[in-house]
Chains A and B, each alone.
Chain A
């Protein structure tokens, strides 16, 4: 609760600093995405009121650009590299397997809020291809059959 208050205060500060500039909506949305990890309905309403624009305008911009996400990301962000090296080494099959195991599409988040599955560009670990990253931890030389075990490890984590 207090944490959320702090985040909104941070957003307010950003809005105040950009308010009178033309085209303030983009940088404010980018800032909000960074602060909250997503631009949810509440955040967008806050921005609309703060900048004196309509919610339609905020939502229109937020849904136009892929960099904004409307819903909170999962606790564990799984990024599968689809860069050239990884792709050639079969990272698509890794991505498909994850999608199957987690029962979510690419870009989706599990209903329990634990996992978000994303495809990403080159992670710079081509020597380990195919590669994925879970919250910064790198997993290399993957095959589809090791995926369930890795996911199970995160599912079992209690904290």
Chain B
């Protein structure tokens, strides 16, 4: 069906847009950026904050984010009255805001601060509002909420309820007492929050942030008795550069390795190695399940947000979950056994720090089953944002430092591991290995384009030898739920499924650099960051996990075979049903 085009005039500029376009979007096409605060493209379009008001000739100013453009419409976006109106809204917002801007975690990356600068708000104390003095909720292992800074935009509420289909927060009370929180005074850790952190990356201000664990890392680095090993996840390299002014989609793998070394880590390993290891185990598990009549579809287990979602909301699928630990947990387990033995270091003196694009990994690392002999596989998890803060604090000139490689033994990786960070990546990596394992023949083309891209649910049938293997990939727990509902109803049937909790996969994880809603109107971060990973995959000499030479050595010297006894002891785990509320 052909879209009907309409024509309107915005600030004297004539612009043509498809019918159904909002004035906000149409203005953008005319080169006019209307300020927004509560607006979040495709997720929170509610016209609540009134920052984006325009004069369309109607009786009152109208919110352009929910105002459909009409043919022949004449719109003004920047009259003196509108400017005054917007400034007033900001001043009212500031009247209840805890203005901790000097030290706020979002300073210089705060949408409210930026608007105040742009619209000329002077001191922010024009009105004296009611300060509610909320207690900061920092009891979750992953997410901290400071309602004293909340602007009630509801972006976190929308993403939690409508994208992730969880809804553990919402507006409560009314008037000055309105707050975004969990019902009945529950703290986030008492709710079935999956710790994905999508609320954080969509918050315009400093009301939400990750639980900062950098002090723990600084302390480990300063402790002469500790041997501190670090490992960054695949998606971190695709986004860390943004914190230092690199364009979105720049891979900074080599600089990241150098920066980690300069921070003082004793070994700089790579979670990509763990990703290759995961594929060895997971592909073996899949082949076993298929040939021995095991539970199918098998579903990937790399994403701890997804795991908690499954345990809480879809416990009937727990047996479908791969028993494989996630890559960084596998790495942690290998660092404290294989590596420790090889280097003759007391594993109790080793601390493993994971740098993750993910806030849920902080929860995962604390799961009691993620360790052995009283040692946790991973001691501290920090996010991409926390690593960036550490690099800045240490005075490391990220732009100037040369690139370097990861340390050997557990630093080698293949292209299959790199793409773990994008939705469909784990599936593709597993297919590369499963195909060659099952058929005994080399893949002509290692790229499986049918499982790539940012579509919420992707389906494909892959020919492996004589059989057709039916697979599906979902990202975002809302999409995961839809997919599982279809399977529950018996409408769909698959052999293998990849699920990631965050939309687009880890590249868009809750621990990644925060991109403003305005910037997200122009580019899709899921696409841009994934590009960096697929490029890195293409540039790798080895692109299949089973070709990784250090992985081969690990199996020959230590583990024996994939899915063997030692693997099961160290690299596999189990899951549990979880309640909706914990008192």
Output the least CB separation between A32 and chain B (Å): 15
Q: In the complex, which residues 39-79 of chain A have their Cβ closer than 8 Å to any Cβ of chain B?
A: 41, 44-45, 54-60, 63-64
> Interface segment, B101-109, B163-171, B565-573?
B163-171
User: Using an 8 Å CB-CB cutoff, how does the interface string of B144-179 with A read, 1 for contact, 0 for none?
Assistant: 000000000000010001000011111111100000
Interface assignment of B123: CB less than 8 Å from any CB of chain A? no
Number of interface residues of A (CB under 8 A): 12
Q: Could you tell me the distance between the alpha carbons of A57 and B170 in the complex, rounded to whole angstroms?
A: 7
Contact of A54 among B161, B171, B174 (CB under 8 A): B161
Question: Do B168 and A54 touch across chains, with their CB atoms under 8 A apart?
Answer: yes
Question: Do A56 and B183 touch across chains, with their CB atoms under 8 A apart?
Answer: yes
Known A44-B183, A59-B183, A60-B183: A54·B173 in contact at CB below 8 Å: no
Q: In the complex, which residues 55-107 of chain A have their Cβ closer than 8 Å to any Cβ of chain B?
A: 55-60, 63-64
Question: Do B174 and A56 touch across chains, with their CB atoms under 8 A apart?
Answer: no
Question: Do B182 and A56 touch across chains, with their CB atoms under 8 A apart?
Answer: yes
Give the one of A41, A55, A57 with max B CB within 10 A: A55
Q: In the complex, which residues 168-208 of chain B have their Cβ closer than 8 Å to any Cβ of chain A?
A: 168-174, 182-184
Name the residue on B nearest A55 (C-beta): B183
Q: Could you tell me the distance between the alpha carbons of A72 and B59 in the complex, rounded to whole angstroms?
A: 46
Query: In the assembled complex, which residues on chain B have CB atoms less than 8 Å from the CB atom of A41?
Result: 184
Q: Could you tell me the distance between the alpha carbons of A26 and B161 in the complex, rounded to whole angstroms?
A: 19
Question: Do B173 and A56 touch across chains, with their CB atoms under 8 A apart?
Answer: no
Output the least CB separation between B285 and chain A (Å): 34
Question: Do A59 and B172 touch across chains, with their CB atoms under 8 A apart?
Answer: yes
Q: Could you tell me the distance between the alpha carbons of A101 and B184 in the complex, rounded to whole angstroms?
A: 29
Q: Could you tell me the distance between the alpha carbons of A58 and B168 in the complex, rounded to whole angstroms?
A: 11
Q: Could you tell me the distance between the alpha carbons of A58 and B172 in the complex, rounded to whole angstroms?
A: 10
Q: Could you tell me the distance between the alpha carbons of A57 and B161 in the complex, rounded to whole angstroms?
A: 10
Number of interface residues of B (CB under 8 A): 16
Query: In the assembled complex, which residues on chain B have CB atoms less than 8 Å from the CB atom of A63?
Result: 172-174
Query: In the assembled complex, which residues on chain B have CB atoms less than 8 Å from the CB atom of A54?
Result: 161, 166-168, 170
Output the least CB separation between A64 and chain B (Å): 5
Q: Could you tell me the distance between the alpha carbons of A45 and B167 in the complex, rounded to whole angstroms?
A: 14
Q: Could you tell me the distance between the alpha carbons of A45 and B184 in the complex, rounded to whole angstroms?
A: 11
Question: Do A60 and B184 touch across chains, with their CB atoms under 8 A apart?
Answer: no
Q: Could you tell me the distance between the alpha carbons of A58 and B183 in the complex, rounded to whole angstroms?
A: 8
Name the residue on B nearest A65 (C-beta): B174
Output the least CB separation between A54 and chain B (Å): 4
Contact of A59 among B174, B184, B580 (CB under 8 A): B184
Name the residue on A nearest B186 (C-beta): A55
Query: In the assembled complex, which residues on chain A have CB atoms less than 8 Å from the CB atom of B172?
Result: 59-60, 63
Query: In the assembled complex, which residues on chain A have CB atoms less than 8 Å from the CB atom of B173?
Result: 63-64
Give the one of B169, B182, B183 with max A CB within 10 A: B183
Output the least CB separation between A15 and chain B (Å): 18
Name the residue on A nearest B160 (C-beta): A56
Query: In the assembled complex, which residues on chain B have CB atoms less than 8 Å from the CB atom of A45?
Result: 581
Q: Could you tell me the distance between the alpha carbons of A157 and B497 in the complex, rounded to whole angstroms?
A: 67
Q: Could you tell me the distance between the alpha carbons of A152 and B18 in the complex, rounded to whole angstroms?
A: 73
Q: Could you tell me the distance between the alpha carbons of A41 and B185 in the complex, rounded to whole angstroms?
A: 11
User: Using an 8 Å CB-CB cutoff, how does the interface string of B87-99 with A read, 1 for contact, 0 for none?
Assistant: 0000000000000
Q: Could you tell me the distance between the alpha carbons of A64 and B161 in the complex, rounded to whole angstroms?
A: 19
Q: Could you tell me the distance between the alpha carbons of A56 and B168 in the complex, rounded to whole angstroms?
A: 6
Name the residue on A nearest B181 (C-beta): A56
Output the least CB separation between A22 and chain B (Å): 16
Known A44-B183, A55-B183: A60·B171 in contact at CB below 8 Å: yes
Q: Could you tell me the distance between the alpha carbons of A44 and B172 in the complex, rounded to whole angstroms?
A: 14
Query: In the assembled complex, which residues on chain A have CB atoms less than 8 Å from the CB atom of B161?
Result: 54, 56-57
Question: Do A64 and B183 touch across chains, with their CB atoms under 8 A apart?
Answer: no
Query: In the assembled complex, which residues on chain A have CB atoms less than 8 Å from the CB atom of B170?
Result: 54, 56-57, 59-60
Give the one of A41, A44, A59 with max B CB within 10 A: A59
Name the residue on A nearest B173 (C-beta): A63
Output the least CB separation between B187 and chain A (Å): 13
Q: Could you tell me the distance between the alpha carbons of A125 and B183 in the complex, rounded to whole angstroms?
A: 40
Question: Do B174 and A64 touch across chains, with their CB atoms under 8 A apart?
Answer: yes
Question: Do B167 and A57 touch across chains, with their CB atoms under 8 A apart?
Answer: yes
Query: In the assembled complex, which residues on chain A have CB atoms less than 8 Å from the CB atom of B157?
Result: 56
Q: Could you tell me the distance between the alpha carbons of A79 and B69 in the complex, rounded to whole angstroms?
A: 52
Name the residue on B nearest A64 (C-beta): B174
Give the one of B161, B171, B581 with max A CB within 10 A: B171
Give the one of A45, A56, A57, A58 with max B CB within 10 A: A56
Q: Could you tell me the distance between the alpha carbons of A60 and B167 in the complex, rounded to whole angstroms?
A: 11
Query: In the assembled complex, which residues on chain B have CB atoms less than 8 Å from the CB atom of A59?
Result: 170, 172, 183-184
Q: Could you tell me the distance between the alpha carbons of A88 and B580 in the complex, rounded to whole angstroms?
A: 52
Q: Could you tell me the distance between the alpha carbons of A64 and B172 in the complex, rounded to whole angstroms?
A: 7
Query: In the assembled complex, which residues on chain B have CB atoms less than 8 Å from the CB atom of A44?
Result: 183-184
Q: Could you tell me the distance between the alpha carbons of A60 and B170 in the complex, rounded to whole angstroms?
A: 6
Q: Could you tell me the distance between the alpha carbons of A45 and B174 in the complex, rounded to whole angstroms?
A: 21
Q: In the complex, which residues 524-583 of chain B have their Cβ closer than 8 Å to any Cβ of chain A?
A: 580-581
Q: Could you tell me the distance between the alpha carbons of A86 and B358 in the complex, rounded to whole angstroms?
A: 61
Q: In the complex, which residues 4-60 of chain A have their Cβ closer than 8 Å to any Cβ of chain B?
A: 41, 44-45, 54-60
Give the one of B172, B173, B184 with max A CB within 10 A: B184
Query: In the assembled complex, which residues on chain A have CB atoms less than 8 Å from the CB atom of B169?
Result: 56
Q: Could you tell me the distance between the alpha carbons of A64 and B184 in the complex, rounded to whole angstroms?
A: 13
Output the least CB separation between A136 and chain B (Å): 30
Query: In the assembled complex, which residues on chain A have CB atoms less than 8 Å from the CB atom of B182?
Result: 56
Query: In the assembled complex, which residues on chain A have CB atoms less than 8 Å from the CB atom of B166?
Result: 54
Query: In the assembled complex, which residues on chain A have CB atoms less than 8 Å from the CB atom of B168?
Result: 54, 56
Q: Could you tell me the distance between the alpha carbons of A58 and B182 in the complex, rounded to whole angstroms?
A: 11
Q: Could you tell me the distance between the alpha carbons of A71 and B174 in the complex, rounded to whole angstroms?
A: 18
Name the residue on B nearest A70 (C-beta): B184
Q: Could you tell me the distance between the alpha carbons of A55 and B160 in the complex, rounded to whole angstroms?
A: 13
Q: Could you tell me the distance between the alpha carbons of A3 and B111 in the complex, rounded to whole angstroms?
A: 53
Q: Could you tell me the distance between the alpha carbons of A57 and B183 in the complex, rounded to whole angstroms?
A: 8
Name the residue on A nearest B170 (C-beta): A56
Query: In the assembled complex, which residues on chain A have CB atoms less than 8 Å from the CB atom of B167?
Result: 54, 56-57
Q: Could you tell me the distance between the alpha carbons of A55 and B191 in the complex, rounded to whole angstroms?
A: 10
Can you identify 10 A-B contacts, CB atoms within 8 angstroms?
A: A44-B183, A54-B170, A55-B580, A56-B161, A56-B168, A58-B183, A59-B170, A63-B172, A63-B173, A64-B174
The 5 A-B residue pairs whose C-beta atoms are closest, nearest first, are: A59-B183, A56-B170, A54-B167, A60-B170, A55-B183
Which residues of B are interface residues toward A (Cβ below 8 A)?
Answer: 157, 161, 166-174, 182-184, 580-581
What 13 additional pairs, Cβ within 8 angstroms, besides A41-B184, A44-B183, A54-B161?
A44-B184, A54-B166, A54-B168, A55-B581, A56-B157, A56-B167, A56-B170, A56-B183, A59-B170, A59-B183, A60-B171, A63-B172, A64-B171
